[in-house]
């Protein structure tokens, strides 16, 4: 690791945090480019442009988002979540004073419990696509390893990520082969039955999601609570082998100096080029295949959930290195400061974007999701980006943190012994 690390070029804690905030801000904007489809329509619309129906313009935008944003920005955000956990732990240790080695992890555990509660409320009240709940519980698991050195964190994270997704890929490829045989008209009876059962489950899921989408506010909450109260736990189960490993890798990269500006420009350039190049080539190959084969449903689930895992990680690492390479030049520019402010208020921006988009698309708001064609959905991305960028710099000139960040911090430290103030979020 020492061969790629040079003495830190970022000289103080505030500037180091600003660099992380800048990368987080970019990741947050990229996540919205994917989430907007989930705000507009049913859960499964995020897996295929042909669900719930085929519409003009849907295929083109899906492929663009698939190549540039899908999974990559979420992975980058998860890496930064791991880094932010260590920043908080270090700050909490300093606040507790010398000798209190358990204070940082203990306070981080309290912080993550509150995040889990926020996440479940986010799901129940507003939207099925919450990521806060699985982040919180995976973060609690990662706390057990938070004192480990960089190499072990990165190695363990990559091993867990590679083994779990490698095993899943074997089954995914076999399922794709069976589906292709059925679609070609010569699949065995068992595979035809499986395909038929899957299509029935898809139809039922689309109908249930539409019922919630068009429902009034209180009725939508009641439907989530009565029909799918355990969905956040199911999401945790399906994302655990992605989220936990990436949190560990993000912790390790923080310890290795990536997010504090300690890597040389040469190392950053190589990491960006290899990550984006290799991951991008693999993603483009998959995009070509699903387009040529007309987005077959079983294959789409396998591609989105499993087969893109490695290119997602490669491109996320490439994006992260590339953004850190750009940060010194952008740190004093309007673009850089706006993105850093958006990243510093990521919690508020994430929840605020859900409020804005559900107000536009849900039945309790303008109800656009019930009739707006899919091809128009990307037009709402600039609106969301503008909302995330417009307010944070003005707010942070007057407050240390965003509104929801301040509430989260107060709840975390509620009842704790007083000490020096900390600000890492």
Q: How confident is the model at residue 95 (pLDDT cuts 50, 70, 90)?
A: confident
Q: Is residue 8 part of a domain?
A: no
Q: Is residue 323 part of a domain?
A: yes
CA 415/CA 417 separation, integer angstroms: 7
Mean pLDDT of 85-108: 81
CA 33/CA 281 separation, integer angstroms: 21
pLDDT for 102 beyond 90: no
pLDDT for 422 beyond 60: no
- List, for residues 175-211, the tens digit of each pLDDT value: 999 999 999 998 899 999 999 999 999 999 999 999 9
pLDDT for 233 beyond 90: yes
On average, the pLDDT of the chain sits at 92
CA 377/CA 57 separation, integer angstroms: 10
pLDDT for 6 beyond 60: no
Q: How confident is the model at residue 98 (pLDDT cuts 50, 70, 90)?
A: low
Mean pLDDT of 245-271: 95
Q: Which residues contact 117 (CB under 8 A, 6 or more apart)?
A: none
Mean pLDDT of 89-110: 80
Q: Which residues contact 45 (CB under 8 A, 6 or more apart)?
A: 37, 38, 51, 52, 374
pLDDT for 388 beyond 80: yes
pLDDT for 8 beyond 50: no
pLDDT for 73 beyond 70: yes
Burial (Cβ within 10 Å: 0-12, 13-18, ≥19) of residue 121: middle
pLDDT for 333 beyond 60: yes
pLDDT for 283 beyond 90: yes
Q: Strand pairing partners for 252?
A: none
**Structural domain tally of the chain?**
1
Least confident of 52-61, 279-288, 313-322: 52-61
Mean pLDDT of 404-417: 90
Q: Is residue 208 part of a domain?
A: no
Q: Is residue 196 part of a domain?
A: no
Q: Is residue 218 part of a domain?
A: yes
Q: Is residue 174 part of a domain?
A: no
Q: Is residue 303 part of a domain?
A: yes
> Domain limits at 332?
13-168+214-412
Q: Is residue 417 part of a domain?
A: no
Specify the pTM. Answer: 0.93
Mean pLDDT of 32-58: 94
* CA-based max dimension of the chain: 71
């Amino acid at each position: 690791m020492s061969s790629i690390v040079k003495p830190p070029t970022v000289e103080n804690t505030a500037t180091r945090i600003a660099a992380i905030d800048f990368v987080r801000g970019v990741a947050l904007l990229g996540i919205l480019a994917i989430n907007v489809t989930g705000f507009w329509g049913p859960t499964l619309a995020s897996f295929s442009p042909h669900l719930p129906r085929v519409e003009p313009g849907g295929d083109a935008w899906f492929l663009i988002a698939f190549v540039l944003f899908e999974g990559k920005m979420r992975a980058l955000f998860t890496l930064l979540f791991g880094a932010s956990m260590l920043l908080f732990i270090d700050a909490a240790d300093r606040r507790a004073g010398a000798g209190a080695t358990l204070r940082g992890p203990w306070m981080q555990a309290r912080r993550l419990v509150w995040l889990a509660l926020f996440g479940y409320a986010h799901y129940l009240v507003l939207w099925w696509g919450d990521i806060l709940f699985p982040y919180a519980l995976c973060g609690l698991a990662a706390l057990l390893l938070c004192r480990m050195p960089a190499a072990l964190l990165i190695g363990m994270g990559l091993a867990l990520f590679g083994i779990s997704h490698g095993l899943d890929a074997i089954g995914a490829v076999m399922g794709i082969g069976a589906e292709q045989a059925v679609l070609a008209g010569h699949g065995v009876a068992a595979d035809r039955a499986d395909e038929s059962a899957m299509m029935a489950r898809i139809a039922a899921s689309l109908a249930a999601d539409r019922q919630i989408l068009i429902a009034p506010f209180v009725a939508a909450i009641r439907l989530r609570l009565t029909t799918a109260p355990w969905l956040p736990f199911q999401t945790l189960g399906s994302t655990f082998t992605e989220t936990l490993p990436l949190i560990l890798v993000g912790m390790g990269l923080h310890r290795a100096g990536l997010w504090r500006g300690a890597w040389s420009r040469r190392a950053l350039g190589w990491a960006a080029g290899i990550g984006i190049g290799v991951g991008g080539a693999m993603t483009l190959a998959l995009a070509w295949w699903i387009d040529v084969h007309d987005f077959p449903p079983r294959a789409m689930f396998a591609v989105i959930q499993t087969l893109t895992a490695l290119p997602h990680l490669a491109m996320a690492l490439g994006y992260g290195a590339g953004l850190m390479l750009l940060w010194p030049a952008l740190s004093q520019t309007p673009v850089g400061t706006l993105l850093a402010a958006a990243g510093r208020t990521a919690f508020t921006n994430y929840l605020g974007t859900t409020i804005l988009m559900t107000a536009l698309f849900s039945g309790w708001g303008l109800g656009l999701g019930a009739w707006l064609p899919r091809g128009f959905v990307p037009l709402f991305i600039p609106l969301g980006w503008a909302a995330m960028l417009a307010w944070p710099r003005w707010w942070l000139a007057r407050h240390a943190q965003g509104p929801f960040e301040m509430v989260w911090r107060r709840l975390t430290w509620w009842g704790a012994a007083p000490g020096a103030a900390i600000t890492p979020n």
